[in-house]
Structure 1
Amino acid sequence: MNGYCYFILGMLVLAAGYFTYGRVLERIFQPDSERRTPAVAYTDGVDYVVMPRWRIFLIQLLNIAGLGPIFGAVMGVLYGPAALLWIVFGCIFGGMVHDYFSGMISLRHKGENLPEILGRYLGSQAQWISRAACIVFSVLVGVVFAVGPAAILAPMTGWNVSTWVWIIFGYYFLATILPIQAIMGRVYPLFSVALIIMVAGILGVMLLMPFAESMPYWMHIPRMEVLPDMDFFHNLHPADFPLFPVMFITIACGAVSGFHATQSPLMARCLKTEKEGLPVFGGAMITEGVIAFIWAAAALTFYGSPEALGIATANGKAPALAIQMISESWMGHAGSILVMIGVVILPISTGDGALRVTRLMIADCFKLNQEQLSRRLMIAIPLFAVAIAVSSMDYNIIWQYFGWANQLLAASTLWAVSIYLRSKTRCCWIAAVPAAFLSLVVFQYLFSSPEMCGFGYEASLIASVVAVVVIGVLCLFRSSGLRESEEIA
């Protein structure tokens, strides 16, 4: 079977995963269409607002799909086609499980934010640690996703980076304090058009490549072999970085990302019925996986090998350069502009969601009602003062640890989900297995990475396995000791 068939098969497996495994998740959780959702029970016109399902889906997708499913996927395929396997199966058996259950548990708990959910199922210490970590993490995501797009927009417009940073922060501020339907509910559908055009354009070119010779000249379909290298089971990284665990850290968004669980409560407060949870939370995750899969396949197709891609992104050259080369070569100058606009929109639409959920997490921490604008400004003004200050710092080294922190958050969320499921005498393994795997990834990176502890690989692997077993046993005792009052009704 050639690379083109593998490409089609990967897309079909992602779609089939949603319609089959997604239904399994629904049967385990047992959504109740008659149960009142937070948007219905606690509507306030600001954060708890019933919105149409299609609009909630687009907001959720744009909230979770930052630069990760594009940049992460392009950098991840430096390890070879194995990255495609991780995107497909990680998305279905890890990402969709993580996003669906974290969103639905929040839905059952009045739209609680992630720290409250982790505290409920992992203990009060986990709540305070995760609360601080999530707030810092979300602020940094908002900052990075302002500076990154500003750096892309500056050469395209002639304005300097600082000007664009201030413009983006101005938009962020409005999106953070205004009712959710005022900007997110209206602007995001427009943003999604650029995203759809971007992905559809690259996908269309790849689907037509085998028929390039019979295509009209004006279509400019390149004569390339789709996925020429199909060595799925070997590490092909040019610098020989270890595939495990580094590839699983590099590709987070598009496979499994803990950041998604911080965003899901925003939409959990807008669902009309519990039955909408799978298409919103699970559907957005699978769609993000499709985006990552297309861009990963496009990078391997365009450059032909991880070695060539490594040269294109070496010496400080950002993945944005590789993405620009792919889009300009395949879609022409006009098409490349549309693609780069999509690359800009994705992080901006994630950054505003990150800062909005930060406001809500701080409000939950101090029990501050957010119906009044003055209460929102009380949090937003100092929050943005900190964010603007951070935006002027050099945090490139800190950003190296973001992938690790992201997967640590994902593993913690999945352990909480497994405890919830076991407390309800349901199939806890469906969350415990990916939780254990991600925990192994996190500990192995912590122990073996030169940027972290830097221990030997084999010794680190043994220590990581022991740590995962200990965590699994602790979670087992935790779920057995849950009181009835701690469980979801």
Structure 2
Amino acid sequence: MSSKKRAYSKLCEQQFFLEYHYWEMRKMTTFLIGLAILIIGGFLYGSFVERIFKPDDRQTPAVKLEDGVDYVPMSKWKNALINLLNIAGTGPIFGPIQGILFGPVAFLTIPIGCVISGAVHDYLSGMMSLRQDGAQMPGIVHKFLGGKVYQVYNIFLCLLMLLVGAVFTYTPGDLFAGQICGFTDVNVWTWVIYGVILVYYLVATLFPIDKIIGRIYPIFGAILLLSAVGVFFGIFAQGYQLDNIDFSHGIKGIFDVYPYFDGIVGASAPGTKFVPVFFVTVACGITSGFHSTQCTMIGRSVRHEKEGKMTFYGTMILEGLIAMIWAAAAMGLYNSGSTAGATAAVGEVAKGLLGPVGGIIAILGVIVLPITSGDTALRSCRLMIADYIHYDQRKKKNRVILTICMFVPVIAILVFAKLNAEGFNILWRYFAWSNQTIAVFAFAAITVYLMAKKGSAKWVFLVPLVPGSFYMFVISSFILSAKIGFGLSMNVAYIIAAILTAVYAVGVYMLGRKYAAKHTEE
């Protein structure tokens, strides 16, 4: 073959390669637009929210109140990594896998919600803690929403943390038993796996944050990032089919397509409404009230206020990216004909995209996520209870007594979930709903704070109040219509939820005006 023919042949191959990938990329348009919204929108809106808060050079609680146990200054990268692992439980994986059953609209709602709601919630919760001497969320709620709300919130939140500890023992334990060890039924080794996880939780709850969590998290973080990156590139390498939004049936048709895939194990009944079910299901990838408890905890380790954007806002954007990757992976899997439920889908995606060895690493990354949320959930629960009852945690004896009291109900919840056929499903539904309920409280406290903040424009309170009101509608309509709630018809639930949302928005605004008239926040 002449040199000209070889050059022409090579040119044709290159053109075919480019055209092929061009058309493959067009199939992923909605997904790629979502990624752009998440990354570019996160950068721009994050800077906007940072300017609203106005971080400065004042001493942070980690420096001012250093005690070697909970107030421990740590580097920016370590704080960010710990916070990412704290907030990223099974939610940004299992939630999007179930959420993608609503179709490609998830590729837009996840990033938009993450940028203007979830990351705002996390950043301002963490930064408020820095300005309140490292106060945990109950203390912040007490100051800005009053004693009565504080009493309800504190009890409710501590119960949620115990539930998180149990749930995040169950899910990684089952993943390890099923996907790594190959157990198909519950046996004595399953309980041994749960026991090992609980022992780790016990150690992480008791000892200083930099001695245990600060040392082991870089290893967990490497596994997490490797698995996420591997799945992301595997989606393109394997040519997974990612659908685009179909506008042929109008805007309403985009949200009324559930189930987008038929026959998926564990899927809800046909006709399930996008609002509220999608936003309760996909919590950690969009907005999670649990995050406020974790951001305020890591707020006791931040050395400079200007590190807050990376530590709080940026890590939520990374969690949104994890959610997008797993939503895309699940869509590609279901488009290939699989009907696997969420847990089995994790194994099929990981091993299908990365092979046996890479798949095991990816599965380990998924197992890491809930473990690194469960440990700090129980740790933050200890801190919140100690603050509430004024129980000095500098004494090792006090930490041990309080920790033992916490672990008894966690073990009881875990046993109930394993021995009752519907136990875990019931607990998970209540957990998902209560998780978003916590966010509504946090948004309310943030709104009041901004209304009283010195030098703030009068309109900035809308930044947290709008998403807070939206989630008030979500949690209200969900519990009013769900079988685990009041079981009302969806139309009736929507009407009542709209009224409750209006009451919430007006009530928070009036409370903010009242607080601002008496106080000025720096």
State if a TM-score over 0.5 links the two structures.
yes
One of 360, 364, 368 as aligned partner of 1:337: 360
Cα distance change, pair 278–374 in 1 and its aligned pair in 2 (3 A): same
Q: Do the aligned residues in 1 keep the contact of 2:235 with 2:329 (CA within 8 Å)?
A: yes
Superposed displacement of residue 223, structure 1: 4.0
Superposed displacement of residue 486, structure 1: 5.1
1:65 paired with 2:88, answer yes
Higher mean C-alpha displacement, 328-337 vs 367-376:
367-376
Aligned to 2:474: 441
Find the aligned partners of 2:211 and 2:294 in 1 and give their Cα distance: 18
Aligned to 2:503: 470
1:354 paired with 2:377, answer yes
Amino acid paired to 1:283: G
Find the aligned partners of 1:84 and 1:8 in 2 and give their Cα distance: 8
Superposed displacement of residue 18, structure 1: 2.3
1:265 paired with 2:278, answer no
Q: Do the aligned residues in 1 keep the contact of 2:82 with 2:213 (CA within 8 Å)?
A: yes
Superposed displacement of residue 388, structure 1: 1.9
Higher mean C-alpha displacement, 229-238 vs 82-91:
229-238
Superposed displacement of residue 4, structure 1: 2.3
Amino acid paired to 1:147: Y
Equivalent position SS for 1:146: helix
One of 438, 441, 446 as aligned partner of 1:409: 438
Q: For residues 243-267 of structure 1, give each alpha carbon's deviation from its aligned partner in whole angstroms, at most 9, with x where no partner exists.
A: 1111111000010000000111221
Residue segments in structure 2 that go unaligned for 5+ positions in a row: 1-24, 248-253, 260-269, 418-422
Aligned to 1:180: 209
Aligned to 1:312: 340
Q: Do the aligned residues in 1 keep the contact of 2:125 with 2:292 (CA within 8 Å)?
A: yes
Equivalent position SS for 1:312: coil
Find the aligned partners of 1:428 and 1:346 in 2 and give their Cα distance: 33
Aligned to 1:230: 245
Find the aligned partners of 1:3 and 1:281 in 2 and give their Cα distance: 33
Find the aligned partners of 2:516 and 2:359 in 1 and give their Cα distance: 56
Q: Do the aligned residues in 1 keep the contact of 2:230 with 2:354 (CA within 8 Å)?
A: yes
Q: Which residues of 2 match residues 381-400 of structure 1 at below 5 A? A: 381-394=404-417, 395-396=423-424, 397-400=426-429
Superposed displacement of residue 487, structure 1: 4.6
Aligned to 1:12: 36
Q: How many residues align?
A: 466
Question: Larger C-alpha radius of gyration, 1 or 2?
Answer: 2
The percentage of counterpart residues that share the same residue type is 37
Q: Do the aligned residues in 1 keep the contact of 2:95 with 2:284 (CA within 8 Å)?
A: yes
Superposed displacement of residue 194, structure 1: 0.6
Residue segments in structure 1 that go unaligned for 5+ positions in a row: 209-221, 314-318
Find the aligned partners of 2:505 and 2:255 in 1 and give their Cα distance: 30
Superposed displacement of residue 446, structure 1: 1.9
Equivalent position SS for 2:280: helix
Find the aligned partners of 1:487 and 1:151 in 2 and give their Cα distance: 50
1:283 paired with 2:283, answer no
Find the aligned partners of 1:357 and 1:105 in 2 and give their Cα distance: 16
Instruction: With the length of structure 1 as denominator, give the TM-score of the two structures.
Output: 0.92
Cα distance change, pair 326–366 in 1 and its aligned pair in 2 (3 A): same
1:110 paired with 2:130, answer no
1:201 paired with 2:216, answer no
Find the aligned partners of 1:479 and 1:329 in 2 and give their Cα distance: 52
Q: Do the aligned residues in 1 keep the contact of 2:83 with 2:298 (CA within 8 Å)?
A: yes
Q: Do the aligned residues in 2 keep the contact of 1:82 with 1:231 (CA within 8 Å)?
A: no
Instruction: With the length of structure 2 as denominator, give the TM-score of the two structures.
Output: 0.86
Superposed displacement of residue 483, structure 1: 6.0
Q: Do the aligned residues in 2 keep the contact of 1:103 with 1:281 (CA within 8 Å)?
A: yes
Q: Do the aligned residues in 2 keep the contact of 1:109 with 1:488 (CA within 8 Å)?
A: no
Equivalent position SS for 2:135: coil
Find the aligned partners of 2:203 and 2:465 in 1 and give their Cα distance: 39
1:244 paired with 2:244, answer no
Amino acid paired to 2:40: A
Higher mean C-alpha displacement, 436-445 vs 479-488:
479-488
Equivalent position SS for 1:393: helix
Superposed displacement of residue 295, structure 1: 0.4
One of 367, 380, 386 as aligned partner of 2:390: 367
Find the aligned partners of 2:398 and 2:55 in 1 and give their Cα distance: 34
Higher mean C-alpha displacement, 381-390 vs 93-102:
381-390
Aligned to 2:491: 458
Cα RMSD (Å): 1.7
